[in-house]
Amino acid sequence: MTNSINRVYPVLARIAMRRVNLCIVLLIVGLISVPALAHHSFPAEFDKSQPGEVSGRIVEVWYKNPHARYRLEVEADDGSMEEWDIQTTSLISLRRVGWTKDTLQVGEMVRIWGDLGHNNTRKLFMRGLEKSDGTELLPGGANRDANDASKEKTTQNNTYTYAQVNPHHPFDISGPWNNAYKFRLTVDDLEPKPTPFTPEGQRVFAATQSWQDDVLRCMPLGLPRIFGSPYAMEIIDAGSHYVILHVQNNTPRRIWMDGRKPASDLPPTSMGFSVGHWEDDVLVVETTHLSPGTLDGSLLPMSGAHTRLVEHWKFDADRLSVDRTMTIYDSYYSKPLVRQRGSIRSDSVEIIEPAPCDPDGHYRDLLESNRLEEHFSL
């Protein structure tokens, strides 16, 4: 079986034969060849309850943000050769453990284990691998359990960054924060269950397929999804407001603390308009003016115009950690939905610019699944 890169242009030719407008074909070629973060939803593609492993030869290395991918040639039980799509964690996490584009190279023989794809697809989400010389590698470093507060709080030998500007704030929350603390996947994490859809919400959800996720096309992750991100954020006290810089997608957020109101003609955006105030040691934030989008990786719909987010950030007495709770009010649901996360202070700033967004993987998947025309007809 030839590798996928050699299948791209024949597929494009077939699309052209179907009388797809030539400019669309040229656009797709450009998107495939020009670096442009396609964030694949793990639960949409892989089943964590189905572990598996494959052994074979690497025939393609595809090191692009946010997930490195590898094409593996594997000998099937009947002696034929088949290709497997191997995906890893984000380039941000790979960088932390020293994993680069040269860590695995074309021609290497490897044994890879991880989570199998849904519906018997030849896909595997890599949890670890063994090279032919016996070296074992874990692309994500130490395993991160969703129920494990992976870092203990301590004040010993740590130097934190503080820079309080507004003396009316009860204490200083500025500096870098690690959001892997008490982390959960941002998919099927909202309570209550079952999801309390309204009839319209159920209709919109039923009509949405995983490949239609706008995030795959490099559209902003936005709120409320970025609230669940495990990647670092830095908080800056700017006096009239807090600035939060999320390392994921280099996303800035402003929480206005001076009581201002949104302008009458303020357009909706992916991060919306956030205002906050302190109630003792709890920071309360309300966000409106959101663009239509999705609430999580399973693509629960969000109306945008009728969405209101309320967050409660409850800081521990030592100010080293915070429990964050988001309540989502939306016309697609008959009851409020709740998401919970945690953050812990970091003694180093990890706000390093990630690689730019690249929808290449998304469009390749559409090509290989014969969904490209359907995509452009939306």
- What percent of the chain stands above pLDDT 90? 53
Please determine, for residue 301, whether its predicted confidence score (pLDDT) is greater than 60: yes
Mean pLDDT of all residues in the chain?
82
- What count of Cα atoms within 13 Å lies in the side-chain half-sphere of residue 53? 9
Q: Are residues 179 and 316 in the same domain?
A: yes
Q: End-to-end distance of the chain based on CA atoms, in angstroms?
A: 32
**Helix, strand, coil % (nearest 5) of the chain?**
20, 35, 45
Q: What is the pTM of this model?
A: 0.65
Looking at residue 157, what is its pLDDT?
A: 58
Query: What average pLDDT does this structure show over 324-341?
Result: 98
Question: Greatest CA separation found in the chain?
Answer: 72
- Judged by average pLDDT, the poorest of 133-137, 177-181, 211-215, 304-308 is 211-215
Domain membership flag for residue 261: yes
Query: Which residues, 6 or more positions from 156, have their beta carbon under 8 angstroms from its beta carbon?
Result: none
Query: What average pLDDT does this structure show over 226-234?
Result: 91
Q: Are residues 18 and 108 in the same domain?
A: no
Q: Are residues 125 and 228 in the same domain?
A: no
3-class SS at 328? strand
The band of 116, judged by pLDDT with boundaries at 50, 70 and 90, is very high
Please determine, for residue 11, whether its predicted confidence score (pLDDT) is greater than 50: no
Please determine, for residue 363, whether its predicted confidence score (pLDDT) is greater than 50: yes
Looking at residue 349, what is its pLDDT?
A: 59
Q: Are residues 15 and 61 in the same domain?
A: no
The band of 41, judged by pLDDT with boundaries at 50, 70 and 90, is low
Q: DSSP assignment of 138-169, as one string?
A: -TTSS---TT---S----TT---------TTS
Q: Are residues 221 and 284 in the same domain?
A: yes
3-class SS at 45? helix
Contact predicate 340/325, CB 8 Å: yes
Domain membership flag for residue 286: yes
Q: Which of 125, 140, 9, 39 is nearest to 354 (CA)?
A: 39
Looking at residue 92, what is its pLDDT?
A: 73
Looking at residue 80, what is its pLDDT?
A: 92
Distances (CA, A) of 324 to 181, 312, 316, 346: 11, 6, 11, 16
CATH number at residue 327: 2.40.128.20
Q: Are residues 19 and 95 in the same domain?
A: no
Q: Are residues 90 and 212 in the same domain?
A: no
Domain membership flag for residue 305: yes
Domain membership flag for residue 152: no
The band of 3, judged by pLDDT with boundaries at 50, 70 and 90, is very low
The total domain count for the chain is 3
Please determine, for residue 13, whether its predicted confidence score (pLDDT) is greater than 60: no
- Cβ count within 10 A of residue 255: 21
The band of 162, judged by pLDDT with boundaries at 50, 70 and 90, is confident
The number of residues in the chain equals 378
The two tokens of residue 236 are: 């800056």
Q: Which long-range contacts (CB under 8 A, 24 or more apart) does 6-10 make?
A: 7/367, 7/368, 8/32, 8/364, 8/367
Q: Are residues 30 and 52 in the same domain?
A: no
Using one digit for the tens of pLDDT, what is the confidence trace for 57-83?
999 998 877 678 899 999 988 989 999
Looking at residue 272, what is its pLDDT?
A: 97
Looking at residue 5, what is its pLDDT?
A: 36
Q: Are residues 125 and 190 in the same domain?
A: no
Q: Are residues 335 and 191 in the same domain?
A: yes
Domain membership flag for residue 49: yes
Measure the CA–CA gap between 238 and 349, rounded to whole angstroms: 18
Query: What average pLDDT does this structure show over 211-233?
Result: 85
Q: Which of 97, 306, 319, 118 is nearest to 209 (CA)?
A: 118
- Judged by average pLDDT, the poorest of 40-49, 133-142, 284-293 is 40-49
Domain membership flag for residue 278: yes
Q: CA quadruple 194, 198, 204, 207: dihedral positive or negative? A: positive
Q: What is the CA radius of gyration of the chain?
A: 22
Helices (H), the chain: 8-17, 22-33, 42-45, 91-96, 199-206, 360-368, 372-376
Q: Are residues 221 and 95 in the same domain?
A: no
33-56 CB burial, b ≥16 within 10 A, e <16: eeebbbbbbbbbbbbeeeeeebeb
Distances (CA, A) of 112 to 54, 86, 128, 190, 282: 5, 9, 6, 32, 45
The band of 244, judged by pLDDT with boundaries at 50, 70 and 90, is very high
Print the domain residue range for 9. 1-36+359-378
Domain membership flag for residue 165: no
- What count of Cα atoms within 13 Å lies in the side-chain half-sphere of residue 128? 10
Query: What average pLDDT does this structure show over 190-198?
Result: 97
Between 149 and 181, the more confident residue is 181
Looking at residue 31, what is its pLDDT?
A: 38
CATH number at residue 122: 2.40.50.140
Q: Are residues 280 and 369 in the same domain?
A: no
Domain membership flag for residue 225: yes
Identity of the amino acid at 99: W
Please determine, for residue 307, whether its predicted confidence score (pLDDT) is greater than 60: yes
